[in-house]
Amino acid sequence: MSRRPHSLDVNRPSTARLAALLQQHAEASRYWIAYSGGMDSHVLLHLCAQLELRQTGLEFSAVHVNHGLQPDANVWSAHCADVCRTLAIPFTLLRVDASPEPGQSREEAARNARYQAIRSLMSPRAVLLTAQHQDDQAETVLLQLLRGAGLSGLAGMPQWAEFGPGWLLRPLLDVPRSALYRYAVEHGLHWIEDLSNQDTSYDRNFLRQQVLPLLQQRWPGASGTLSRSARHCVEALRLVNGRAEDLLRSARHPVRDTLRISQLTLFDEAGQRLALREWLRSSGYRMPPARTLQRVIDEVMRARPDRAPRVRWREGEIRRYRGELYLSRPSVPFDRSPIIAWNGETPLQLPAHNGVLSAAEEQGAGIALKFWQPGRISVRYRQGGEQGRLPGRAGSRCLKKLFQEIHSVPPWRRERFPLIHIDGQLAMVPNLWVFEPFAGAPDARNIKVHWCFAGLGSACLDLPSAFLQNENVLK
């Protein structure tokens, strides 16, 4: 879907301007309107209803999220349903649990729960319309400025953005709140006043109630000026992002999704920070504080070769091994003591969210049927000193050396690899090796054991998917 700039008057909301924006996504199958019941979203809802009356082929639906945080939450939901019924807009009510997690603000928890619920409604050709306006954008830029944000934060909220399998559009982003209020009064709209918006203990409310009105007394166009600065930052950000992608591409290992320190050190510190930020962003991590990235440069990249440095924050950690940086979710202590009996037939859920083992009879390298079917199968973890002999090779090899030399598996990941034993003897490391005497003929039907992580918790996300994708790992 392409995005093109518009040139219509943005001083007041209008169906013509909304139609022009929607035309940029003319192939959209459906438009969802995020309707809270407040003035802003009511204006958006009313504009969509008027537009639908004038144009055919546009399908609008409203979605309201009940967070259950306010005593009148159910009354608000009923009000939204009544308004949508009057405007002949289909209405969907979603109820969510918006309880904050440790270290998370109530506002952030509610926002995340709201967007996660709405995301479940989206299809590849759907567009979510939200009612953020120019004053919201100004508040966002001020908040980010006061937090010391870089270009990404100062760029504020984008008008178009990917959202789940579809898109998100903020069609009122260049319209001031005062213009929305005039529209609401002129059309006799009735909306809900959320009293929590008056609570200035929240940073955004403090800016809205105390700071922006004062700024606008001195500079009447302050909101528009701050929004214009955000657009300038967007343009600069595009250039910076292109540079960051180039730097990351040159430093990234093509298989392990690590960063090669030898390449990173060719960049100046600004380039190193750019590459690190792009690595985190492209890997699905929220950006940690700038001081965290500086610690990665100072404490991990520059540490002596004999050290095993690690920088950890709430969402993740970065370690170094053999000249490469590894990114993962925060590691947790892992108990390697269990010995787990397995019938070898039904999938085995490993403890501590360590994945699922499944066995299947397939053509190709694997454990010979004559060993698998009568054998006592157990799953264990490394205790140290394990050895195995690979097919076609003389002598046994230490498992530690195999992990190091063949796949360069870092030490903190080796402990999570399950080891298949038959009658007490090491027979296989799933997805990697089968050991003698258990290896079947490569051209025969043998037992292949697969170690799968799909759908599991974050404790497993640090395990390298490349090991599962390599067709030649069973040697």
d(CA 40, CA 177) in angstroms, rounded, equals 8
438 and 304 within one domain = no
Is 333 part of any domain?
Answer: no
Residue 3 lies in a domain: no
Which carries the bigger pLDDT value, residue 409 or residue 441?
Answer: 441
Q: What is the pLDDT of residue 392?
A: 86
pLDDT reading at 471 higher than 50: no
Nearest partner of 399 among 422, 370, 420, judged by Cα: 420
Label residue 220 by pLDDT band (50, 70, 90).
very high
Q: What is the pLDDT of residue 57?
A: 73
Distance CA 129, CA 33 (A): 5
pLDDT at residue 474 greater than cutoff 50: no
Residue 76 lies in a domain: yes
Range name among 50-54, 151-155, 437-441 with the lowest pLDDT average: 50-54
Instruction: Tell whether the model's pLDDT for residue 312 goes beyond 50.
Output: yes
Same domain as 362, residue 277: no
pLDDT score for 464: 40
For residues 314 and 369, membership in a common domain is answered with no
- The answer to whether the predicted template modeling score (pTM) of the entire model surpasses 0.75 is no
In a domain, 334, yes or no: no
In this structure, the answer to whether residues 76 and 186 fall within a common structural domain is yes
Last residue of a domain, one of 328, 350, 371: 328
- Sign of torsion over alpha carbons 112, 118, 123, 124: negative
Are 223 and 90 in a shared domain? yes
Residues 223 and 258 in one domain: no
Residue in 45, 55, 56, 121 with CA at minimum distance from that of residue 85? 45
- Indicate whether 199 and 304 sit together in one domain: no
pLDDT digits (tens, 9 = 90+) for 27-71: 788 899 999 999 999 999 999 999 987 766 788 999 999 988 788
Whole-number Cα distances in Å, 464 to 87, 137, 349: 52, 39, 19
Q: Are residues 398 and 351 in the same domain?
A: yes
Instruction: Report percent pLDDT > 70 for the chain.
Output: 92
Domain boundary residue among 328, 360, 385?
Answer: 328
274 contacts 264 by C-beta, under 8 angstroms: no
Reduced to 3 states (helix: H, G, I; strand: E, B; else coil), residue 419 is strand
Please give the helix or strand (H or E) that residue 31 lies within, else none. strand 30-34
Looking at the structure of the chain, the number of domains it has is 3
Q: How much is the pLDDT for 56?
A: 64
Whole-angstrom distance, CA of residue 191 vs CA of residue 55: 26
- The 3-state secondary structure of 49-70 reads HHHHHHCCCCCEEEEEEECCCC
Return the CATH number at 276: 1.20.59.20
Distance, CA of 283 to CA of 124 (rounded, Å): 22
Condensed to tens digits (0 to 9), the pLDDT of residues 328-359 reads: 999 888 899 999 999 999 999 999 888 999 99
Indicate the residue among 198, 231, 264 that finishes a domain. 231
Choose among 465, 284, 437, 324: nearest CA to 375: 437
Residues 6+ apart with CB under 8 A from 361: 369, 445, 446, 447, 448
pLDDT digits (tens, 9 = 90+) for 237-287: 999 999 999 999 999 998 888 999 999 999 999 999 999 999 999 999 988
**Nearest partner of 379 among 349, 421, 428, judged by Cα:** 421
Host domain of residue 128: 15-231
264 belongs to a structural domain: yes
272 and 209, same structural domain? no
Q: Name the 3-class secondary structure at 224.
A: helix
Residue 6 lies in a domain: no
pLDDT at 10: 52
What's the CATH number where 166 sits?
A: 3.40.50.620
Q: Which of 134-148, 182-196, 203-217, 392-406 has the lowest mean pLDDT?
A: 392-406
In a domain, 5, yes or no: no
Among 144, 210, 138, CA closest to 173: 138
Same domain, 159 and 258: no
DSSP helix/strand/coil, 327: strand
Number of Cβ within a 10 Å radius of residue 155: 22
Q: Are residues 358 and 319 in the same domain?
A: no
Residue type, 125: R
Does residue 2 lie in a domain region?
A: no
Do 266 and 181 fall into the same domain?
no
